[in-house]
Amino acid sequence: MKAHYLGHVVFYVKDLKWSLAFYRDLLGFQEVGRIFDGKAAALTSGRTHHELLLIEVGAAPGPPPGRRLGLYHIGIKIGDSLDELRAAKRELERAGVAITGMSDHTVSQSLYLADPDGNEVELYVDADESVWKNNPAAVMSAIKPLRL
């Protein structure tokens, strides 16, 4: 067996409306449908039928802060250039979303933020693919600060 790619992520969310405002309205995923009497929504970037499923569960406890077992963050590619990352940063700031980190990973450059339920989201652009194709170990390069 060989995995082809990560297909989708499912999040339990406190309030579907807030989560859709973040993932659909701010990040630009397209809503493709609802299930569970409208309490769950499937979203896609257009790459496949859905990459994200949000299921409203109400006031259940969210993720604890800090290091823990389980999901750390999800990464969402938002473009191919630092100009696109800069534009995303400006849009997030206008929307009042706090940027919690910015990193240069050699193979990609990233912004970090939290979704409405406290899940960490990485928005990134890839560096030129020759960086990691010519040196696959580049993915393990030391993380450097990113200034945009």
What is the per-residue pLDDT across 6-42, written as a single tens digit (0 to 9) for each? Answer: 899 999 999 999 999 999 999 999 999 999 999 999 9
Domains 1-59 and 73-148 share a fold: yes
Which position has the token pair 């496949």? 48
Using the predicted structure, report yes or no on whether residue 74 has a pLDDT greater than 90: yes
Domain ranges of the chain: 1-59, 73-148
3-state DSSP assignment of residue 138: helix
The domain 73-148 having CATH identifier 3.40.50.10860: the answer here is no
Q: CB count, 10 Å around CB of 115? A: 21
DSSP conformation class of 11: E
| pLDDT digits 0-9 by tens, 109-130 | 999 999 999 999 999 999 988 9
Fold (topology level) of 1-59: 2,3-Dihydroxybiphenyl 1,2-Dioxygenase; domain 1 (3.10.180)
